[in-house]
Amino acid sequence: MAKMSWNAVLLSAAGATFSGAAAQDVNCNNYRLQEFSTLRVAVVTVDRALFRDAQGTARGPYVVRGDRIVQGRTVNGRRCSYFFSASREVSGFLNDAQATAVPAAPPARGAWVRDEDAGLDISNGLKVTGEAVWHTPGDSVNLGSLDGTLIRRGAAWVYASGLRGDTCRLTVLNLGAALLVDDNLACGGWNVTFQGLYLRRLSKRP
């Protein structure tokens, strides 16, 4: 499977500012600049919602009714919003009235893949196992793994290692067709991380 980039698309908003914005990502270009614990999953409730820049100008990309998005805190009646799919990642401001938060439904069972360097498997009872690697400049790899249970915490699902001395912690937002994952950078060797967007890996028919 080819490696994919999961950084949000950097849509141009030159010189744009958002007065009073609580989010760090004041131009809504990159969800990684948000505080992950403040993000929520929402569903678009209008036929078409255009992503706008900090000045209110339409950026071009849009989402449609039923699309699931990730949103930051509301500021002055709108939120930084991010849409992810296998083929595109777009972002911008949406008005509060254009989307509604959805309950934290449990992730579907099966294999979830970020790229060739990280994957998660979720089974009955929200048991989760995972492996991630980081390739060092010396052509070796640093390894990371996890094995435990996802527990609901507000809008997200959280894994925390129960092993003494292991402080690995994962936070998962369920987008239905994708999982957005954050970790505390303590889930393996140096530079190993599970952070990113995961898509379902469908089983091949025999």
Buried b (16+ CB within 10 A) or exposed e, 95-116: beebbeeeebeebeeeebbbbe
Q: Are 69 and 83 in contact (CB under 8 A)?
A: yes
Q: Are 136 and 125 in contact (CB under 8 A)?
A: no
10-residue mean pLDDT profile of the chain (206 residues): values are 29 25 72 91 97 93 95 94 87 97 94 96 96 92 95 94 90 95 94 94 57
Among all chains, which residue has been given the structure tokens 């952070």? 195
Polymer length of the chain? 206
The pLDDT, as a whole number, for residue 25 is 84
| R_g of the chain, CA atoms, integer Å | 18
pTM here?
0.81
Comparing C-alpha atoms, which of 95, 93, 98 is closest to residue 82?
93
Comparing C-alpha atoms, which of 97, 98, 12 is closest to residue 62?
98
Comparing C-alpha atoms, which of 150, 38, 51 is closest to residue 92?
51
The pLDDT, as a whole number, for residue 203 is 58
Exposure of 73 in the CB half-sphere (CA atoms within 13 A):
15
Q: Strand (E) positions, the chain?
A: 40-44, 48-52, 58-64, 68-75, 78-84, 89-95, 99-101, 110-115, 118-123, 127-135, 141-149, 151-153, 156-160, 169-174, 178-183, 196-201
The pLDDT, as a whole number, for residue 96 is 96
